[in-house]
Amino acid sequence: MNTTHAVITAIGGYVPDTVLDNAALEKMVDTTNEWIVARTGIKERRIASDPLMATSDMTVLAIKDLIEKSGIDPLEVDCLVLATSTPDRLLAPTAVTVCEKAGLQNAFAFDLNAACSGFLYALSTGAALVETGRYKKVLVAGTDKMSSIVNYEDRNTCILFGDGSGVVLLEPNHEGVGIQDNIFRTDGKGVQFLSVPAGGSALGSNEDTVNQKQHFVQQDGRTVFKNAINGMTTACKDVLERNSLTADDIDWVVPHQANLRIIDAVGQNLGVDKDKVKVNIERYGNTTAATLPLCLWDYQADFKPGDKILFTAFGAGFTWGASLAVWGNLRTRQN
Ligand code: UT7
């Protein structure tokens, strides 16, 4: 087989040590553990409580984990694509800082912002680079320090989000293994339902915007909820159909972790058994671009070569999509 696919050959992850559980949130806003668990499935999330722990630092720790487990030489990495909505700063790509701190001296690097769909978009971007034949080792990371843009006085949002980073290595494969297909969609009407209104070129930060807390995430949860279920269900069905597959052919679904009720609804709409759908939202909450790679990081032992995996995500914008992959072999320090 001559076609080049990009296959995931290593996974790394990092979550901060500080745990923010529902009991702690009960003391901060008018909420209860019971409400949060019943409505979202979240029990706790990790928070980068050290102010010196930026998005770049979490990404570096995830990359170090990947390098430690896979034994690859950082100097062999050709490119880093970093999906994030919480860059270290607005100007100067965070991915470049990561390369500097992680010793990826031969890599070019850039950030990609597609909110909660960021990792999936970045995975296909990285895969496209590998498929050209010009790049042999491409790192794709998803990292968000959501605690830097969450208002811990707003119970509509602060219960949902957490901090973390996950990264995968993509390499060429010529035996039909790896990323097979992607379906991506966007709808700009979604921006009014989920955004950080101030701090960009549309509305620069000033005293008023700060007083009105417009530098924090604002969300119409109910509208996002409905669109997320529809968007992910449709994208998954479309990518299955385009590849002449049914839900029965899929070994695992790895969905964006925004709300357990959204995940369950998408699984039901697809007709996939619950035990095939990977879930870790109870431990980390919604880490935005990091949910998918952290799911891969947590459950990598379950994935066997040849398994068909369906990824799906939905986020601000709106952005959404689904990707189909055939799992390959992960590198170990020996191979
Ligand atoms: O990653 C992609 C982006 N994000 C998402 O995909 C998130 C999508 N949305 C959601 O996950 C859900 O909409 C939420 C978890 C945000 C909210 O759940 P919901 O079932 O849609 O609740 P709701 O907004 O319809 O609110 C129901 C009630 C309201 O009270 P009333 O009006 O019925 O009296 C809210 O004020 O629950 C109230 N409420 C809360 N109560 C206790 C809202 N937040 C809380 C809270 N604790 N934290």
pLDDT tens string 88-130:
999 999 999 999 999 999 999 999 999 999 999 999 999 999 9
List the catalytic residue out of 116, 158, 236, 295: 116
Judging by DSSP bridges, how do beta strands 163-173 and 5-14 pair with one another? Answer: antiparallel
Residue 178, H or E segment: strand 178-186
Q: What does the mean pLDDT of the chain come to?
A: 97
Show the ligand 1 pocket: residues with CB < 6 angstroms. 31, 35, 39-40, 116, 155-156, 159, 194, 221-222, 224-225, 228, 258-259, 262, 286, 314-315
Nearest CA to ligand 1 atom 2: 315
CA angle 126, 127, 131 (to 5 degrees): 120
116 belongs to the catalytic site: yes
Tell me how crowded residue 146 is: count the other CB atoms within 10 A of its CB. 25
C-alpha distances in angstroms, 7 versus 56, 166, 171, 177, 291?
24, 16, 5, 6, 19
Share of the chain above pLDDT 90, in %: 98
What's the pLDDT band for 335 if we cut at 50, 70, 90?
low
Which two tokens mark 164?
């973390």
256 belongs to the catalytic site: yes
| All domains of the chain in start order, with CATH | 5-176 (3.40.47.10), 180-326 (3.40.47.10)
Residue 26 CA to ligand 1 centre (angstroms): 15
318 preceded by a cis bond (ω within 30 of 0): yes
Residue 194 CA to ligand 1 centre (angstroms): 13
Using DSSP's 3-state secondary structure scheme, residue 100 falls into helix
What's the pLDDT band for 304 if we cut at 50, 70, 90?
very high
Confidence check: pLDDT of 277 > 90? yes
pLDDT tens digits for range 37-46: 999 999 999 9
Residue 29 CA to ligand 1 centre (angstroms): 14
Q: Which atom of ligand 1 is nearest to the CA of 288?
A: 1
pLDDT (0 to 100) of residue 7: 98
Please give the average per-residue pLDDT across 224-230, as a whole number: 98
Using DSSP's 3-state secondary structure scheme, residue 152 falls into coil
Confidence check: pLDDT of 326 > 80? yes
215 belongs to the catalytic site: no
CA distance 186 to 245: 24
pLDDT tens digits for range 4-32: 999 999 999 999 999 999 999 999 999 99
Residue 12, H or E segment: strand 5-14
